[in-house]
Amino acid sequence: MNTYVPNNGWREEELSFQRRRKWDQRVLEFVSRERSKALIWCGVLNVSHEEIDVSHPDFFKNARQQGYVPPRKEDCGQPGFTQAERDRFSRILKEGDLIDTYRWLQKEKDSDRGFTWSRNPVEKY
């Protein structure tokens, strides 16, 4: 399966959070239904699943856009690293009996192997 997962975005009122929740629910239903079949999921998943997957977890957890705070606490932070997105991704992996093969092979944090479109938080502070 090759997907481009919609970005969560920053603001609830732009419907991006709802769109992402709906997307995640549909993927969960698909992987649960097809669990008995072999599946390799590739593409742009637009989620950093665990703290080890980002360079500065505290920065990303607390990121805000111009002071906006989403109504749900679990939707706070850098899109792609909110607690809600990470929890839903965990559930998709579990229900689909899927393994993050990169993380399975690369157990140590290695910032040199990843990339980001964002500025480096260290440079800001």
**pLDDT-based confidence at 125, cuts 50/70/90?**
very low
Residue 46 annotated as binding site: yes
Sequence ranges of the domains in the chain: 2-110
The span from the CA of 47 to the CA of 105, in Å, is 18
Q: Say if CB 83 and CB 8 are below 8 A apart.
A: no
Q: Of all residues in the chain, what percent carry a pLDDT higher than 70?
A: 85
**Cα 53 from Cα 18, distance rounded (Å):** 24
To the nearest 10 degrees (0 to 180), the angle between helices 83-95 and 16-33 is 10
Q: What is the pLDDT of residue 115?
A: 53
